[in-house]
Chain A
Amino acid sequence: MKVLLVGSGGREHALAKLITSSQASVKLYVLSDYVNPGLARESEITGGKLFAAATTSPENAVKIAELVSPDLVVVGPEEPQFHGVVDCLKERGFHVFGASRRCSSIERSKVFARYLMWKYNIPGRLYYIAFKSLEEAREFAKYAGDVVVKPARQVGGKGVRVIKDTKAFLSEVRHQVKSESIAKTFEEINKYRDIDYVVLVEQRVEGVEYTAQVITDGSSILPLPLVQDYPHAYELDLGYETGGMGCISGPEHLLPFITHEEYETTQKIVKEVLEKLQEEVRDRYTGAFAGQMMLTGLWGPTVIEYYSRFGDPEISCLLPRIESDFLEVFDRAARGALSGVKIDFSEEAVGVVKAVAPAGYPVFKDEAQGHPVVADVERIRSLGCELLYASVELRSDGRMYTRGSRAFEVVCSADSYEEAYRLSEMAASYITSLDGWPLYHRGDIGSGRLIDERVREAERVRRVYRSKQFRGTLGEFFTVWLPGRGVVENPLLSPLGWEHED
């Protein structure tokens, strides 16, 4: 079976491993933005090949697909989806696992994602308001209070500003920052011409984040075990938002701080969103879909955003736990034949993933790139862990260089977090730079201390949402009594229309 995989990073390396570990004999071709050594190797050993070219170009994808005539194309990242790569391939008769351009609107536009939830009253929705004009947005933000400012378009994990504003005596300085970040977002977003709303201001919530990934062919939905991703760059949950510095999963379908009931509620939300999304965009969803969730006091399971693809590094965390033939799952999803398929996981095993990044990531990428690095694959394997190559490229001198983002992921699993944690720490220590440039990873991901902290935090928000549930006020937040004006339901009024460009 010939498979063409589109994408360049750690997530695609995980997908490549899943594909090549199939029972079927596979020839893997890869379209990647750069020569990712992991992807190059995975394709070579199957007799396939890596093509280095822009993954966001439908022409490139079509050209290569026509060259290798794959039985299946798997599109990993969201940007190619936004650019219509999936649609162009499908038009030419290829079977594709990956969301179409219209279906991927759910990730591309945060306004659309929120609008959809409000239109169909799907639980787990947040109050928000979207703006097209800078002045209006700034004016609003002055009085908005405890909110998050987001670019309305997905811009690769940048630009979201979470400005907790719960102390009136510090509000003034926060107004300033909010207003500036709105202005910055306008500037940033104007580079992309594919969206009309620019800024989204939404209510800030607190709680424990987790990702619920599923695979669907448009009608059947196969849920994967929950994963918790760690967005802060540094230990102790300090510092910048990143694409994810690592994650944990298990045991079973749950996480140590999510109950079975919360899992069920989450799946219900995901299912409903997938249904309504297809209705709204009049297109069939085939591929991976994920809800980036937060257990909050407002709702219990709450949606922060959606992915029209697997999470990166979330999918890596499931790599050692998946027992089914995943290629078959991808293939059947692409052909609309998922019904009756089951995915098996090792139930007892837990997974811990750690990203290793060059110092400077995620903000000072210029400094973080161009450093030669090595990973002692043999020693990492001897621990029973996997090494995934992400933002590193092979250059003509035969050495590997950092590209500025998370360079590697180590993936470990064991019967307990304690053991998986120990292994992941050792595995991460086998990655070094050759020019002395510091590399870093989070030493706390997977540790008992951090898991206990999440358990405590989940208990706190669980008390809150259960009491709201009991009083029948789930999801209700802003009921403000303004002297002289009476009760105002939602100062953050959610918009009633959505101008979808298709």
Chain B
Amino acid sequence: MTGFFSILFFESGWDVRSFLDYGLSALKHRGGSLNLVCWRQNDRVACEKYENSEPQNLSHSGVALATRVDSRKVSEQVVSRDRLALVFDRPSKYSDEVADIVEKAFTSTKPYEDLAKHLSVFRDVDIPTFTAISPREEVVVWRSNTGLTPLAIGGYGFDMVVASTESSVIEVLDADIRKHLLPGEGLYLTRKRVKLFNSEPSSKCRLCLFELLYTARHDSIVDGVCAYEFRKKLGEKLGKYLESRVDVVIGVPETALPYAVGLSHSTGTPLEFGFVNTAREARSMLREGVRDKLIAVHLKLNPIRRVFEGKSVAIVDDSMVTGSTLKTVAQLLRYRIGVRELHVFIASPKLVDTCPYDVVALDPGTLISAYLDDSSIEKYLDVDSLHWLRDEDIDSVADFFRVRLCATCFGRDAVGESR
């Protein structure tokens, strides 16, 4: 899933462009290839592709929203009309219906009551998290009724509100996080009214496990859970699966570093830095094409020779999708550098299914663990051993952080609290 943020200024005189620039940078890691910005332009709302502070007339708008999307998904995630701009954090079949509801609410005298009522209609289907703005400088943000994707509200002094699907955007923009919205909860914002509202959440609310596992930045707080801590805890659980001593633990950057820290701590094995990154774009898994992905992996993972040479190495990654990243790494380490042993630790269970909610783009035909058993994967990767976290490990970490998570793609409906 990609991300968005929206901004409202209470006071005039703020030039929104730097906020858009840095906010968008803080969303880069989530993938997508296109920056899109919407703002008030006279008596309508305009949306434009955005690179580096360009549109001059933007500086006078008291509201704006920004998103980074996959260029092929724009039509399913963005609704741009004269009277409203609305952005979902992932594709939705219901985008027009939702946009109609919001557009109507914008002209009502009790918009938050209308939104609460009419968004409750979707009780039984999954609607993505969204934000919208109007030419009257109103902002609506609403968290998915299934709770799959998060949404946080931040405040900057007496001057500004920023809402984002990624809490680090709020911090990067120098604001303080004020609330993580609940499933079905929304905020209606204008200079004259600020009102939280609640629509009916789905009867089955869970946060996407992948958000905590992979998508969020390490410094983000997702539903009150620090992504870094969550990852480290899962890494500690990997310790049980270490069968014999290894010389070093190394995480595949960026996402897997906290898992490696956890594994190192729980087993007393030294942790090392393994790779230097040449690219600085989105995370490799979120790249759009196969070739793109390979280029990204090669650019991202230039190994530090002396760390690996002749050693027995535990390499840690957050998940295994197609296995191609790890295959690339294994080849590099074995043949170019010459490690003695290579043991792979995956800080999640096996991915076996696609994501029916379009939160994560997983092509079921390419999921290696859906097709191959462990020994075949070991052979394919050319590694000495391969270990996964088990369901009970994820359950216990989810329970520890008191979150209920969707794990459909891992072959389970829910993990954690009251599952």
Q: Is the CB of B158 within 8 A of A240?
A: yes
Q: Mark A21-64, 1 if CB is under 8 A from B, else 0.
A: 00000000000000000000000000000000000000000000
Is A162 in the interface zone, CB < 8 Å from B? Answer: yes
Is A238 in the interface zone, CB < 8 Å from B? Answer: yes
Q: Mark A165-176, 1 if CB is under 8 A from B, else 0.
A: 111011011001
A239 contact set on B, CB distance < 8 A = 10, 155, 158, 161, 191, 194
Q: Is the CB of A177 within 8 A of B13?
A: yes
CA distance A180 to B155 in the complex (A): 21
Interface residues of B in 150-199 (CB under 8 A from A): 153, 155-159, 161, 172-174, 178-179, 189, 191-196
B195 contact set on A, CB distance < 8 A = 235, 440
Is B15 in the interface zone, CB < 8 Å from A? Answer: yes
Q: Is the CB of B18 within 8 A of A172?
A: yes
B157 contact set on A, CB distance < 8 A = 162-164
The number of residues on chain B lying at the interface, defined by a beta carbon within 8 Å of a beta carbon of chain A, is: 30
Set B173, B174, B192: member contacting A359, Cβ < 8 A: B192
B189 contact set on A, CB distance < 8 A = 238
Is B130 in the interface zone, CB < 8 Å from A? Answer: no
Q: Is the CB of B10 within 8 A of A436?
A: no
Supposing A164-B174, A166-B174, A440-B193 touch, asked if A238 and B22 sit within 8 A by C-beta, the answer is no
Is A477 in the interface zone, CB < 8 Å from B? Answer: no
Is B273 in the interface zone, CB < 8 Å from A? Answer: no
The number of residues on chain A lying at the interface, defined by a beta carbon within 8 Å of a beta carbon of chain B, is: 35
Supposing A162-B158, A237-B155 touch, asked if A170 and B18 sit within 8 A by C-beta, the answer is yes
CA distance A238 to B190 in the complex (A): 11
Interface residues of A in 351-371 (CB under 8 A from B): 359-360, 363-364, 367
B371 CB to closest chain A CB, in angstroms? 46
CA distance A359 to B15 in the complex (A): 26
Is A236 in the interface zone, CB < 8 Å from B? Answer: yes
A169 CB to closest chain B CB, in angstroms? 6
Q: Is the CB of A237 within 8 A of B178?
A: yes
Q: Mark A431-460, 1 if CB is under 8 A from B, else 0.
A: 000001010100100000000000000000
A466 CB to closest chain B CB, in angstroms? 22
CA distance A76 to B399 in the complex (A): 55
A170 contact set on B, CB distance < 8 A = 18-19, 22, 173-174
Q: Is the CB of A359 within 8 A of B158?
A: no
Closest-by-CB residue of B relative to A241 is B158
CA distance A163 to B157 in the complex (A): 7
A172 contact set on B, CB distance < 8 A = 18
Closest-by-CB residue of B relative to A179 is B13
A233 CB to closest chain B CB, in angstroms? 8
Is A271 in the interface zone, CB < 8 Å from B? Answer: no
Is A234 in the interface zone, CB < 8 Å from B? Answer: yes
CA distance A347 to B40 in the complex (A): 53
CA distance A241 to B15 in the complex (A): 21
A494 contact set on B, CB distance < 8 A = none
Q: Which of A172, A177, A180, A238 has most B Cβ within 10 Å?
A: A238
Is A232 in the interface zone, CB < 8 Å from B? Answer: yes
Q: Is the CB of A169 within 8 A of B22?
A: yes
CA distance A267 to B153 in the complex (A): 36
B122 contact set on A, CB distance < 8 A = none
Q: Is the CB of A181 within 8 A of B13?
A: yes
CA distance A497 to B386 in the complex (A): 75
A241 contact set on B, CB distance < 8 A = 158
Q: Is the CB of A238 within 8 A of B13?
A: no
Supposing A173-B15, A173-B18, A359-B192 touch, asked if A236 and B10 sit within 8 A by C-beta, the answer is no
A273 CB to closest chain B CB, in angstroms? 26
List 22 interface pairs A-B (beta carbons < 8 Å), by A numbering: A162-B157, A162-B159, A164-B174, A170-B22, A173-B17, A177-B14, A231-B158, A232-B155, A234-B194, A235-B194, A236-B179, A237-B155, A238-B153, A238-B194, A239-B158, A239-B161, A359-B193, A360-B192, A364-B191, A364-B192, A440-B193, A440-B195
What 10 A-B pairs are tightest by C-beta distance, nearest first? A234-B194, A236-B178, A241-B158, A162-B157, A238-B155, A167-B174, A180-B13, A173-B18, A173-B15, A177-B13
- A interface list, Cβ under 8 A from B: 161-167, 169-170, 172-173, 176-177, 180-181, 231-241, 359-360, 363-364, 367, 436, 438, 440, 443
Q: Contacts A234-B193, A238-B189, A443-B196 given; 16 further ones with Cβ under 8 A?
A: A163-B159, A166-B174, A167-B172, A169-B18, A170-B22, A176-B13, A177-B159, A181-B13, A236-B178, A238-B153, A238-B178, A240-B158, A241-B158, A364-B191, A438-B110, A438-B193
